[in-house]
Amino acid sequence: MPSIERVDESVRSTSAVLRTFLEHLAEMHGRCTADTIATTELTLSQVRMLLVLRQKCEAISVNCLADEVGLSLAAAGRGVDRLVGIELVDRREDATDRRVKRLSLTDKGTELLDKQFALKDDDLKDMVTRLPTEVRARLHDALSDALIHLSPEKVTS
């Protein structure tokens, strides 16, 4: 069984390499992402709201959205008003409680996010293409193994 010092050093060194790798990705593509999001004329909070709505399987309340993005109910409400106004978010009355408004992405909102993520996919494919085949295979295996332990439902082939 490995000693605690070795495990700690392994955790430290792997964390450092992973952080450096992620910083490299962010540096390579951060400017591009900021530029493409800037063209949408959305605030960072509004983009975060869209991302939260994208990952939810069902419509959520404004309260829930405010909690998810760390905004006050008033600030979230203003952001939602803008997103509804530009037809990225749909707001409907709850079927059981008309006082509650339920939010979901519209097709236009989904299309906007899909377009943004498609740009990222192309950037990642370009980066991965530059890796030698054997490095690419090891990276794929290592990331797949990590996902199995961290989030098995997200593992793809």
Q: Tell me the three-class secondary structure of the chain, residue by residue.
A: CCCHHHHHHHHHHHHHHHHHHHHHHHHHHHHHHHHHHHCCCCCHHHHHHHHHHHHCCCCEEHHHHHHHHCCCHHHHHHHHHHHHHCCCEEEEECCCCCCCEEEEECHHHHHHHHHHHHHHHHHHHHHHHCCCHHHHHHHHHHHHHHHHHHCHHHCCC
pLDDT digits (tens, 9 = 90+) for 103-126: 999 999 999 888 877 767 787 888
pLDDT band at 19 (very low <50, low <70, confident <90, very high): confident
At residue 155, the pLDDT reads 62
- Is pLDDT of 149 > 90? no
At residue 52, the pLDDT reads 93
Cα separation, 4 vs 15, in Å, equals 16
27 vs 55, residue with greater confidence? 55
The answer to whether the beta carbons of residues 52 and 68 sit under 8 Å apart is yes
pLDDT band at 27 (very low <50, low <70, confident <90, very high): confident
What mean pLDDT do residues 125-146 have? 91
In the chain, the percentage of residues whose pLDDT exceeds 90 is 41
Phi-psi region of 61 (alpha: psi -120 to 50; beta: other; left: phi over 0): beta
CATH architecture of 43-105: Orthogonal Bundle (1.10)
Cα separation, 121 vs 101, in Å, equals 34
pLDDT digits (tens, 9 = 90+) for 40-80: 788 889 989 999 999 988 999 999 999 999 999 999 999 99
- Is pLDDT of 34 > 60? no
CA 27 to chain CA mean position, Å: 17
Mean per-residue pLDDT over the chain, rounded: 85
At residue 123, the pLDDT reads 79
What mean pLDDT do residues 117-141 have? 86
